[in-house]
Structure 1
Amino acid sequence: MNQNYRRNSASQQMYVYGNVVTKPVYDPDRQEKLPERPKKKVSRQVKKNRKKAQHMSRGYVVFLAVAAMLALIVCVNYVRLQSSIVNRSKNITMMQEELADMKEENTTRQNAVMDSVNLDEVRDRAQNDLGMVYASPEQIVEYENPATDYVKQYEEIPKDGVLAQSDKTSR
């Protein structure tokens, strides 16, 4: 393979013509070491205080152990309550599904009963088999009921048809 080299005099770089170019060897940049800071002299009292700060007393260890136990108890109770809530939620869902099924069954049975009753058959049987007849116009007594639409008859209806009068109408 024939390679042509040409130097550029302005920048002193080498141009390589061809399809194979060798990688140039780079020297790694060396980081300059920072000068070490001179160690400050630490007094004896400061060393003693640092050592004392790193030491844990028995009371502190007992306190940490009790706090860890309380945290563990709280966590266990939380998990137990969460499990109880999930179980109750599942039970409620199951009961709601059962209630929906019962309501559907009840509606289906009610519709079946309502469909099985034919009012024309009831009227025919009442008139033909039991001898019932419709009321004649002279048997019908109309009356005014100012209180409600529902009436329970405890005594005979007066001939004038008025069961009760309010104070406003009597004046």
Structure 2
Amino acid sequence: MARKQNRRVNSRSERIVEQYVVDGNTIRKIQAIPQEEPERKPVRRSTSRNRARTRAMSRGYVMFLAVVSATALFMCARYLQIKSAITTQNKQIATTESELSQLKADNDALYNSVISSVDLEKIKDKAMNELGMTYPQEDQIYQFDTAGNSYVRQYKDVPDTTK
């Protein structure tokens, strides 16, 4: 049997001495013995004072933290107010849109009922028989040029162009 000794440093920077025993074709670990770290030097008074000073918070730093905390709190409250206002507006928009769609549906229904109630043959018969209206003759039709798909409004009498 042969003994083998290895040294290594683990992630915590502590030295461990490991011993292994070779027994034929197997290697067995006997034990791991942690080694003691060397003693540290005593801390001088000036160093401990500096550490104490750095741990203590000054008035300026406390004021800075207070201002930053108050600002963060104000911004959170303002954010919640704005989010609430947006939610209210979205509800109002949804209500108005549903009202608009209902009014459009009502308008379309009324339009269709008016269109279906009009009898064009009855109107033509009344205009020709009772009111004496007739279709225009060729010499009564005047053509005017219009811009695009618009229509012409007559504000004065049409001039006689047959002269």
Q: Normalized against structure 2, the TM-score is what?
A: 0.69
- 1:99 counterpart residue number: 100
Q: How many residues align?
A: 134
Name the stretch that deviates more: 108-117 or 34-43.
34-43
Distance 1:30 1:77, change over 3 A: farther
How far 1:153 moved relative to its partner?
A: 4.5
Q: Give the Cα–Cα distance (whole angstroms) in 2 for the partners of residues 42 and 136 of structure 1.
A: 120
Q: Equivalent residues in 2 for 1:16-27 (5 A)? A: none
Higher strand share: 2
Q: Equivalent residues in 2 for 1:105-124 (5 A)? A: 105-124=106-125
How far 1:65 moved relative to its partner?
A: 1.6
- 1:63 counterpart residue number: 64
- 1:131 counterpart residue number: 131
Percent identity at matched positions? 29
Q: Give the Cα–Cα distance (whole angstroms) in 2 for the partners of residues 95 and 49 of structure 1.
A: 68
Q: Give the Cα–Cα distance (whole angstroms) in 1 for the partners of residues 152 and 115 of structure 2.
A: 25
How far 1:102 moved relative to its partner?
A: 0.7
Q: Give the Cα–Cα distance (whole angstroms) in 2 for the partners of residues 133 and 79 of structure 1.
A: 72
Q: Give the Cα–Cα distance (whole angstroms) in 2 for the partners of residues 61 and 89 of structure 1.
A: 42
After superposition, the CA RMSD in angstroms is: 2.6
Distance 1:153 1:71, change over 3 A: closer
Distance 1:90 1:34, change over 3 A: farther
4+ long deviations beyond 3 Å: 146-149
- 1:168 counterpart residue number: none
Q: Equivalent residues in 2 for 1:32-43 (5 A)? A: 32-43=33-44
How far 1:135 moved relative to its partner?
A: 3.7
Distance 1:80 1:151, change over 3 A: closer
Q: Which sections of structure 1, spanning at least 5 residues, go unmatched?
A: 1-9, 12-28, 162-171
Amino acid at match of 1:58: R
Give secondary structure in 1 for the equivalent of 2:79: helix
Q: Which sections of structure 2, spanning at least 5 residues, go unmatched?
A: 1-22, 25-29
How far 1:74 moved relative to its partner?
A: 1.0
- 1:90 counterpart residue number: 91
- 2:18 counterpart residue number: none
Q: Normalized against structure 1, the TM-score is what?
A: 0.66
1:145 aligns with 2:144: yes
Distance 1:31 1:101, change over 3 A: farther
